[in-house]
Amino acid sequence: MVYTDPPFTTALSVMSKQAEIEDIVGWHAHVYFDADSVDRARALCEQAALRFPELKMGRVHEKPVGPHPDWSCQLAFRAELFAQVIPWLTLNRGGLTVFIHPITGFDLIDHRDRAIWMGSVRPLKLSALPETSTVYDL
């Protein structure tokens, strides 16, 4: 499934309307790690990709990328998989920090206001995010 930009609207108008569950087309779970935990993070992400074939594992970035302050690996999945993926990550993250956000078409709001954290909350570089989304392949 490929997600494209919603019709133009501002973040202010988005926050002023009632959000609906159907607005969420997918989720990103970013597994954070460092040099000491890179092997553990890679193993976790690979296990997730094997367990959930429809989940897409991104690159294992050994540097901060985009708004992420730490090294990370992205797990992308459709909204329908949330009830399986998130409990599995909860039980198997092994102390790694996981940053989870919905994909609604509004990157800034999704990362800043709608995030879920497992582990330590980390400061995101929000200036790296556009208000609306680019295309996401879920």
Query: Would 29 be classed as within a structural domain?
Result: yes
Question: Residue 138: what pLDDT?
Answer: 77
Tell me the Cα Rg of the chain: 15
How many domains does the chain fold into?
Answer: 1
- What mean pLDDT do residues 115-123 have? 97
pTM score, two decimals? 0.85
Q: Which residue has the higher pLDDT, 7 or 70?
A: 70
With pLDDT > 70 as the criterion, what percentage of the chain qualifies?
A: 86
Q: Do the domain assignments include residue 17?
A: no
Flag whether 14 is in a domain: no
Q: What pLDDT score was predicted for residue 130?
A: 83
CATH code of residue 124: 3.30.70.1240
Note whether residue 35 is domain-resident: yes
In a domain, residue 109? The reply is: yes
| pLDDT > 90? residue 8 | no
Beta strands 97-103 and 56-61 are unpaired
Longest dimension (CA), the chain: 44
CB burial string 1-16: b at 16+ within 10 A, e below: eebeeeeeeeeeebee
Whether 18 maps to a domain, the answer reads: no
Q: What band does 18 get if pLDDT is binned at 50, 70 and 90? A: confident
